[in-house]
Chain A
């Protein structure tokens, strides 16, 4: 149910989210908020880190909002759990998002909870019809409760799926279509999964309905000694992920791209150098799209 008297669409026009953004994280906030680099066009936050919290986090958000549009990316309202949602939390989240005037909110297509216990990590859903049904229904439920457009994000996974389910991309598309939802396309997650499970990441991108993509995530990841890739957001973006981003942007057009860095955070200049690379890819890829 949409809340009356509030139009997300009209507010999007006021604070348009385009180009390259960066995740607002505690460890880089001081320098980021002091320097306010012009190459950063917007910031993304995890609402769980700010809802009902004062102090430094409140200050960080207030300072960021002076210059940048803010996008929200949830961590705990995972779409694959089977328990009823906490209506109180969703109401609180909806209030928080309205205050921020976000153009859309995103959550992960994963399992983050069992019963009343939270994993504080993104565990994989089985790519089955049952999970697709549950996730699409829950997505619609959250969207109604928060009264905002909701995008799901594809996640990385490390455990092989059973043989009785869908391919990952077919599972993601199934949920998108059933829920008529938007997609936050995480290019690094696709790359990580493609290397861990030996599939062609470009073929994955080709199957994504481009009109549903509203945002892209890129990040670096950790490669273990045994070759398993873990989505840590703790390393620079590797060239293969930049290449896949370029391919993706040529397909989907100029959707906003977020650089995620959550761990092992380097000096801001190193991140801004990655932002510059992202801008270069963004501009060239979207010029190709426009020319085509």
Chain B
């Protein structure tokens, strides 16, 4: 039956070690090991393209072991080749948090977030200019990332990164590359509120400022204007939608 054949192919390609029974079922041990190699080489290639610094930090063999472990859970669920590294990262980052140097998981999160932003969907269309009365529209290729280590700073130090928390806005720039801005906690909360888009700008500014015990003073307004200008200039903030009447 074709279903049995397909399952045997899956096990041969993704199990830690292909079983002799499956290889016999499929009919040619040598040639099905060729398929196993072709399938795995392609997947490893795209993962290494997405996580080059993580690979350099933990080593080729260590990355290979965790890819093997992930594949042995059955293989990628995504039909999109570009999303294969995201599935590996979702599997590996919790493990790296527990077993690797403390900054490795942050580095992998930074790299996979940058990869995701590069390949994010096209922007939604806003139907109004940005103002305090609209619900803001933020570009799709924007992510707020809270890190315990400044792994965005390169090159990677010989002894790794010391703990030094930072919040980044990672976004797709005009050249379609991932770029980042360092945000303070209030700006990060504002941007996340604007990404949700369920409040007007005015509502979100008042709520977030109150959460941070911050007065809406002239100095605050000036900083907020600078932030908004930067976001608009970088294509992070696209405009807005008029709130429902």
Interface residues of A in 127-166 (CB under 8 A from B): 128, 130-131, 134, 158-162
CB closest chain-A residue, reference B46: A120
Interface residues of A in 100-131 (CB under 8 A from B): 111, 113-121, 123, 125-126, 128, 130-131
* With known contacts A53-B121, A55-B176, A160-B27, A118–B7 Cβ distance under 8 A: no
Interface residue A52 (Cβ < 8 Å from any Cβ of B): yes
Q: How large is the interface on B (under 10, 10 to 19, 20 to 34, 35 or more residues)?
A: 35 or more
Q: How far does the alpha carbon of A288 sit from the alpha carbon of B60 in the complex, in Å?
A: 55
CB closest chain-A residue, reference B81: A120
Interface residue B90 (Cβ < 8 Å from any Cβ of A): no
Q: Which of B42, B80, B140 contacts A54 (CB 8 A)?
A: B140
Interface residue B239 (Cβ < 8 Å from any Cβ of A): no
A82 contact set on B, CB distance < 8 A: 2-3, 6
A111 contact set on B, CB distance < 8 A: 2, 5-6, 9
* With known contacts A54-B120, A117-B76, A120-B81, A159–B26 Cβ distance under 8 A: yes
A114 contact set on B, CB distance < 8 A: 6-7, 9-10, 75
A21 contact set on B, CB distance < 8 A: none
CB closest chain-B residue, reference A81: B6
- Residue interface mask B1-24, A partner, CB < 8 A = 1: 111011101100110000000000
B84 contact set on A, CB distance < 8 A: 120
Interface residue B96 (Cβ < 8 Å from any Cβ of A): no
Interface residues of B in 63-91 (CB under 8 A from A): 74-82, 84
Question: Beyond the given A57-B119, A118-B78, A158-B34, could you list 6 further A-B residue pairs with CB under 8 A, ordered by the A residue number?
Answer: A48-B79, A53-B119, A54-B120, A118-B79, A120-B81, A230-B34
Do A117 and B77 touch (CB < 8 A)?
yes
Do B77 and A118 touch (CB < 8 A)?
yes
B119 contact set on A, CB distance < 8 A: 53, 55, 57
* With known contacts A48-B81, A160-B27, A119–B74 Cβ distance under 8 A: no
CB closest chain-B residue, reference A232: B38
Cross-chain pairs A/B with CB under 8 angstroms, 14 sampled: A48-B80, A48-B81, A49-B81, A51-B80, A53-B119, A54-B122, A56-B176, A82-B3, A119-B39, A121-B39, A123-B39, A125-B2, A158-B31, A160-B27
* With known contacts A115-B7, A119-B39, A52–B77 Cβ distance under 8 A: no
A56 contact set on B, CB distance < 8 A: 118, 176
Interface residues of A in 172-199 (CB under 8 A from B): none
Q: Tally A residues with Cβ within 8 Å of B.
A: 42
Interface residue A228 (Cβ < 8 Å from any Cβ of B): yes
Interface residue A89 (Cβ < 8 Å from any Cβ of B): yes
Interface residue B43 (Cβ < 8 Å from any Cβ of A): yes
Do A126 and B39 touch (CB < 8 A)?
no
B35 contact set on A, CB distance < 8 A: 121, 123, 158-159
Do A228 and B5 touch (CB < 8 A)?
no
* With known contacts A114-B7, A159-B28, A119–B141 Cβ distance under 8 A: no
Measured CB to CB, the residues of B under 8 A from A are 1-3, 5-7, 9-10, 13-14, 26-28, 31-32, 34-35, 38-39, 42-43, 74-82, 84, 118-123, 140-141, 172, 176
Q: How far does the alpha carbon of A222 sit from the alpha carbon of B14 in the complex, in Å?
A: 24
Interface residue A59 (Cβ < 8 Å from any Cβ of B): yes
Q: How far does the alpha carbon of A230 sit from the alpha carbon of B81 in the complex, in Å?
A: 20
B121 contact set on A, CB distance < 8 A: 52-54
Least distance between B32 CB and chain A CB atoms (Å): 6
Q: How far does the alpha carbon of A115 sit from the alpha carbon of B13 in the complex, in Å?
A: 14
B7 contact set on A, CB distance < 8 A: 114-115
Do A118 and B75 touch (CB < 8 A)?
yes
B172 contact set on A, CB distance < 8 A: 54-55
Q: How far does the alpha carbon of A82 sit from the alpha carbon of B6 in the complex, in Å?
A: 8
Do B14 and A123 touch (CB < 8 A)?
no
Least distance between B153 CB and chain A CB atoms (Å): 24
B81 contact set on A, CB distance < 8 A: 48-49, 75, 120
Least distance between B228 CB and chain A CB atoms (Å): 22
Q: Which of A53, A89, A115, A118 contacts B122 (CB 8 A)?
A: A53
Q: How far does the alpha carbon of A162 sit from the alpha carbon of B26 in the complex, in Å?
A: 9
Q: Kindly name the residue among B31, B82, B140 whose own CB sees the greatest number of chain A CB atoms within 10 A.
A: B31
Q: How far does the alpha carbon of A123 sit from the alpha carbon of B31 in the complex, in Å?
A: 12
Least distance between A28 CB and chain B CB atoms (Å): 16
B26 contact set on A, CB distance < 8 A: 159
Interface residues of A in 31-76 (CB under 8 A from B): 48-49, 51-59, 75-76
Least distance between A129 CB and chain B CB atoms (Å): 11
A58 contact set on B, CB distance < 8 A: 122
